[in-house]
Structures are given as C-alpha cells and as structure tokens.
Structure 1
C-alpha cells in the first residue's frame, strides 16, 4: 500500500493558519467583553426593576436601558472598528450568525403577530431571554464551546424558571441570566477566548 509523501510546506502553512485563527478568536474574545459587561448590567438592573411589578416603571426602565445599551454598544463598535478591525473571515462568519439571528427574530415576531404565540409582558420577558440564549448558541458555533454551553444553560434556565418558578422569574433572570452575561464579559476581558 502506497502512502503519499508528507508535504512539510503544506503542514507548516496549515499550522500557521490554525495559529492565526486562534489568535484572532482570542482578540475577538477581548473585543466582545465590553458588550457582555454592558448588557449583563442592563439585564441585572432591568429584571430587578421588573420584579417590582409596576408596569409603567418597567416599560420606561427597559426603554431607557435599551437606548443606553445600544448607545454604549455603538460607541464600543465604532471605537474598535477604528482601532482594530475584525479579520475578514470572522466578519463573514458573524454576518451569517447575525442573518440567522434576525431570521429567528422575524419568525418570533410573525408568530406573535399571527396570535400563535401569546403576547404579554411576562411572555415578552421569556421570549427576549430565549432569543439571547439562541444568540449565545449561534455565537458559540463560531467562537467557542463555552459560549455555546452557556447558551444551552440559558435556554434550560429560562424554560425551567418559567415552568416552575414563575413568581421569582425576574429575580432569577437578573441574577443568573444577567450574571452569566457579566461573568462572560469579565472572563473574556481577562483571557480572551482559549483554543478549544
């Protein structure tokens, strides 16, 4: 049985490419840390205020926090784009992730608009929690197993909380959901994404 001779140049080129991918993912982990920290804090504040039960205050809080979060996210994005642009291959992967996520949001909005999914503030909280969980899973496919597993954890947390601990839903979403986002941001800020 014949074996093909090993092409050392091809091996070196492949190893160099793998090393480049790992380095870019670690850099992107550090770049994504501020987003997780900002939105983790917003989730903690928003869901804790939601636990008070005053609908007018809750709506005003989430609108204000949403504007603040997107403002901070936009500033972070523009600053990072200017200082350290994302590599093209990662940009293409993330474009597909965001397209997939937008399509999932479209499906949820369509189901709510068609009255196939119920619409109330409690359900909207669950939907938003599950949508962020799905985003984690999609990002985990591109970046790392840790984010993927955290997305699965958030899906399980959301469904179990809504099924069995409805009275404590907002507190659980604040502490465990927002805490997960915040913890992810802190870990990425310290270490980036490790190769897996």
Structure 2
C-alpha cells in the first residue's frame, strides 16, 4: 500500500465525505419528535355509550391520536401514551403527547382543557404535620394516605419577609426550642413549643 502522502486527492475527498455522512446519520437518528406530559380535563357527561368506563374512553381517545403522531426523523413512529386516568376530583387523564397530537385532541368530543405537567417542589418540610394528619388514626389513614387525592393548601396569611421566617427561628425550632410569632389581632399565643 502506498504511504498516506501519496494517496490521490479523490481518495481523501471520498473518505472525508463518507465520514461526514456517517456523523450526520448518527446525529439525525438521535433526533425525535418532542413530547411532553399533559394533564387533560374531559367532560365526563359526553362519554359515548359504547364505552364501559371512563378509562376505556380515555384510552380509546389517546389511541385515536396514533395516526396524527409524526414519525421521528429516523423513520420510527412514536405513539402517544396514556399514563393515568383520573375519575375522582378531576375527570380526565395524563398522557405523553406531541404538540400535533395535543392539537388533534383539542378537537375531540368531551375535551375541556389540557395543562402541561410541571415538576414542582414542596414548599414545606412537614406537610402532614402542618395539616395535623395523624398516621395512625383519623382522616389520613382512612383516605388511604392520600391515594387518588389532590391536596391544595392556600395560605394567604404568609409573608416570606416576616421575621418569623428567619433562618435563626427555624433552626432553633428544629432543635427543640420555641418559635415565637406575633400576629396582629390574633388570639393565638405568640410562642409555640415543638412537641
């Protein structure tokens, strides 16, 4: 074989082109249609009669979106996926959908609204204590420890800049001390001892 310096220019051009083509193929193959998780609210009163349950209706609705789904750039097809059916507080479901599938879903019978699912973090470290939920008796175990329940707590009386939320008071409270809060026009004692 000839030394590398003596190989003809067309050989180098062909080799460079082949490498570029290989890199592009790998890059394109890794691209796919962007999908997100959505929580979809449906009007349960318009469920068609042939369905035996809302879950079957939602499952059929999501499956009908398969024809709308775009093929990924590598030729494979990504299908919408039903994750969960809600039938207590909210009637609807959560599903992984593309933007096109969501737009098609909005035209479906019974569609009310859809919200992009967002990851949120807790803003309190002791929610069950704050709500006075006892793990051995009462509402907490009777409800199955929150199974199929969405808990929303709205407290409009909290002002984060208040001195009662200062780090020093919180650390002292966690170490077994007292956390003192003086609220205007309140009959609640100003100091609470941690039990």
TM-score bin (small chain): under 0.3
More helix as a share of residues: 1
Q: Which has the larger radius of gyration?
A: 2
TM-score, structure 2 as length reference: 0.24
More strand as a share of residues: 2
TM-score, structure 1 as length reference: 0.24
